[in-house]
Amino acid sequence: MSRSDKAARDAAFADFVTRSTPSLLRTAWLLTGSHDAAHELVQGALVKTYVVWSRVHEDEALPYARRILINHRTDTWRKTRGEHPVAEPPERPHHDGTTADDRDRVVRMLAALPDQQRRVVVLRYYNDLSEHAVADLLGISVGSVKSAASRGLATLRASYPTNESTTEGSLR
Amino acid sequence: MTSTFEDRVREDLHAAAGEVAFDHLDPASVIGLGRRAARRRGLSRAAAATAVSLAALAVGVALGDTAPRRAVAPVGTATSSTPSTASTATARVNAGAFGSRSELRPAGSTMAYTVRGLVSDGHRFAALENSVEGVPRTVAGLRLDRPELADVAYTDGPLAILVTQGPVDSIRMGSTGFALDHLGSAPVAGTSQWLTVASIPASWTKPWQDLAWTTGTGQRGAARMPASFTATIPAKGGGAGWSPLPVRFTARPTPTGTALVEVEKADSPTLGLQHLGLLTLDPGQSQEFARGDGGAYATLYGLTRSKPVSVAPRGDTAARFVDGWTFTTVEVTGGVWATAIQLTGMDDSSPDPVPSVSWTDGTGASHSFDLP
């Protein structure tokens, strides 16, 4: 590869980093509940993405990086013999206030979910991926996705205050 | 207005994540780390490929020589066979060069290589080298007196490599298979032989098969390739986050009947492979197991002469594998099965968490192997 080719490749990757980082960081934060862990996770995923960048099609880059992020995290779980859900809530967002506190509640509840359920809930309801897309990304069956989503939502639902009208909706 | 609980969770997740402020990630810093990672990956993969390639040939040398020289270390014992003497191989690449270098630029490829001669353990090899970010690396080595054996190395993708008596015009996967692209040949200086490379499509997942080649003068020949199989260790249920684990077993041809299988793990089917180790199973030897990747011993893998229908790793405590394990097995070469076992629910608190593994074959016979 010539020097100009490398420069063009790096420029395209730098642009991708700039565009994709906010989304990846937020996904990572929901998965980890920690700013530092999210930064570390996203940086690791982007570094891995750079290594295979020449084989990634432009419009597939973000899903590809997200796949690496999820697998990077899975790999970390394997190497650390599994992650145990923490009793303590994740770090609070930088912005304080009543609204943020309310909204952060779901993230605190999310941290208490088993890992697989947490990943499925984040991918389904934050990244808005279809059940098939989540199954493909995690390498599990669609049935497993449905099961994990159902269980995750049931746990979250049980933790939500019961006097809110939105808790009356049925789980699909 | 009513909304489902799913909608509420979706709204809250988006709202919570949207309000979080993150520090900027510097693209230049990521690119710098990525370059170093690419360099490490290239060097690691090349070292593994070279070790595998030379080890495959070294095994043949050892068993054919009156004074065996093995590139392997002794490990555990097996109760259903004679004690094992083979395990993960570490080929020596303490080779001396001979001849001058030849440049090899396959047509249509962006990769450039160097071909040169190497002498290792008294045998002459044709070595294929290239450079990643300015760092030279040896991609593969083929013994010059074993032209019937080809190999596969990984550079920007799988690459078929073979040695012939002249430049090659075309290579096919098998006599009736498809022609490979990005073909290139270069002379091995100091010999009358040529080294040829050709790209194998990355999507090609069938077992490697013989290469059929033709020279410009019409000479034809075939060379045996490694047999490669991809399998997936099933996920284990429960909430511990375990996922299916893709693995690949590649059996290198050896002239003596020794099974030599490289084990690789893929974090994802599309993200490349990590070399885990190399197992050998000599004629007369019935089984061989070794620990897998990482300090956590996430996997065990092994070779057996009959197909395991069940496996049972024994932990050092009764509750060691409280979450169980899963495994997969494939027949990688005639009468040799490669097995990978994924362990779950294990911690690293013990220095010897997996003393042994037992397995049962289709006849109901039980076998046991003591891990080192």
Tokens of A45: 């995923």
- Which is higher by pLDDT, B212 or B151? B212
Answer whether A162 touches B (CB < 8 Å): no
- Which is higher by pLDDT, A133 or A77? A133
- Among the partner residues A1, A27, A167, nearest to B5 by beta-carbon distance: A167
CA A59 to chain B, closest CA, distance in angstroms equals: 16
Q: What does the pLDDT look like over B11-54, one tens digit per residue?
A: 889 888 887 777 778 888 888 888 887 776 665 665 666 666 55
Domain boundaries A1-83, corresponding CATH code? 1.10.1740
Contact list in A for residue B105 (CB cut-off 8 A) is none
- Which is higher by pLDDT, B352 or A101? B352
- Among the partner residues A39, A50, A170, nearest to B4 by beta-carbon distance: A170
CA A61 to CA B244: how far, in whole Å? 23
* Stretch B206-219: mean pLDDT: 85
- Decide if B13 and A126 are in contact by the 8 Å CB cutoff: yes
Contacts of A114 (CB under 8 A, 6+ apart): A85, B238, B239, B240, B241
- Which is higher by pLDDT, B353 or B66? B353
Query: What are the residue boundaries of the structural domains of chain A, listed by start?
Result: 1-83, 87-167
Res B330 pLDDT > 90: yes
Which pLDDT score, from 0 to 100, does residue B364 have?
Answer: 95
What percent of chain B stands above pLDDT 90? Answer: 23
Answer whether A39 touches B (CB < 8 Å): yes
Answer whether A37 touches B (CB < 8 Å): no
Q: What does the pLDDT look like over A69-125, one tens digit per residue?
A: 876 655 444 444 333 333 343 343 333 333 555 556 777 888 888 878 888 999 999
pLDDT grade, residue B256 (50/70/90)? confident
Res B86 pLDDT > 50: no
Res B84 pLDDT > 80: no
Which neighbouring-strand residues pair with B275? B264
Question: Which is it for strands B299-304 and B336-343: parallel, antiparallel or unpaired?
Answer: antiparallel
Which pLDDT score, from 0 to 100, does residue B326 have?
Answer: 85
Tokens of B302: 């092994």
CA B101 to CA B187: how far, in whole Å? 9
pLDDT grade, residue B308 (50/70/90)? very high
Going across the sheet that includes B123-132, the strands are B96-104, B113-120, B123-132, B135-143
Q: What does the pLDDT look like over A21-63, one tens digit per residue?
A: 998 999 998 888 888 888 888 998 898 888 878 777 777 788 8
Answer whether A109 touches B (CB < 8 Å): no
CA B275 to CA B233: how far, in whole Å? 16
Which pLDDT score, from 0 to 100, does residue B66 have?
Answer: 24
- Decide if B8 and A169 are in contact by the 8 Å CB cutoff: yes
Q: Cα separations (Å) of A104 from A94, A165, B11, B100?
A: 11, 19, 11, 67
Query: What are the residue boundaries of the structural domains of chain B, listed by start?
Result: 94-225, 228-370
User: Do A87-167 and A1-83 fall under one CATH topology?
Assistant: no
DSSP B203: T
Contact list in A for residue B5 (CB cut-off 8 A) is 153, 156-157, 160, 166-167, 169-171
Question: Which is it for strands B135-143 and B123-132: parallel, antiparallel or unpaired?
Answer: antiparallel
Domain boundaries A87-167, corresponding CATH code? 1.10.10.10
CA B259 to CA A9: how far, in whole Å? 42
What is the ipTM metric for this complex?
0.79
Contact list in B for residue A166 (CB cut-off 8 A) is 2-5, 7-8
Which pLDDT score, from 0 to 100, does residue B204 have?
Answer: 73
